[in-house]
Amino acid sequence: MLSPLLTVFVAATITALATGLGALPFLFVSNISRRNLGLANGAAAGLMTAASLMLLYEGGLESIGRTAVGAAVGVAGIALSRHLLGGQSEFTVGKLRGADALQALMVVGIMTAHSFSEGVGVGVSYGGGDALGTFITTAIAIHNIPEGLAISLVLVPRGVSVWAAGGWSIVSSLPQPLMAVPAFLFVQVFRPFLPVGLGFAAGAMLWMVAVELIPDALEDSPARPVAVVAGLAAVAMLIFQILLKG
């Protein structure tokens, strides 16, 4: 029988690995055109918008004020990072260069920041017992699959391999096992910071949607199909998360 600490660590590791499953649909897709690149950006924007709304809702249940502070810090932090990195025209991430590399880094970075709060969520939930911890872990693991899809929607159409996109998706979730154990050990210390983390991730994702993904999508595809794809992705993600909560 696993010790409580090992149980929490293994559970959080499973949620991180689940993120990589979001890249699997691209095993069946090839030759992505520029128009489809725009639609992929629109779909990623819809998924991230829905995830952000749910994060704000969950954070607001704990503390509206701390969630709002976290969101403001998230917007400011990601905007500052984009400003500092934006002038580096030779910026590279793997085989990506310039704007594509910067956008890939921003998406993976934002999802990584989001994973800190998810790791805390796993640890805190196990503080309420194994049954609650197992339920929350399962919900987060399933929730992580479309998050991995959102990352892959940005990476794969820009030339990153499916396996590399899956790897980056998993890397973005590594803070989950790292944060789950200390959160489990010090539940009362970590719980007040959870709304701040949720707000931070939501603010950063909404900034990315508004400033990066949607403008890029509209450069490559007509506005109407982009809006339809983004809307459908957002609705699907919201329904998916509501069903998980139910």
- Note the pLDDT tens digit of each residue in 48-58: 898 888 888 88
Tell me how far apart the alpha carbons of residues 128 and 143 are, in angstroms, rounded to a whole number: 21
pLDDT at position 111 is 82
pLDDT at position 99 is 67
Kindly compute the dihedral angle of the four CA atoms of residues 60, 66, 68, 69, in this order, to the nearest 10 degrees: -170
How does residue 181 score in pLDDT terms, banded at 50, 70 and 90?
Answer: confident
Residue 87, pLDDT > 60, answer: no
Tell me how far apart the alpha carbons of residues 97 and 219 are, in angstroms, rounded to a whole number: 19
pLDDT at position 232 is 94
Q: Which residues of 15-31 are buried (b: 16+ CB within 10 A; e: fewer)?
A: bbbbbbbbbeebeeeee
Share of the chain above pLDDT 70, in %: 90
| pTM given for the model | 0.75
How does residue 95 score in pLDDT terms, banded at 50, 70 and 90?
Answer: low
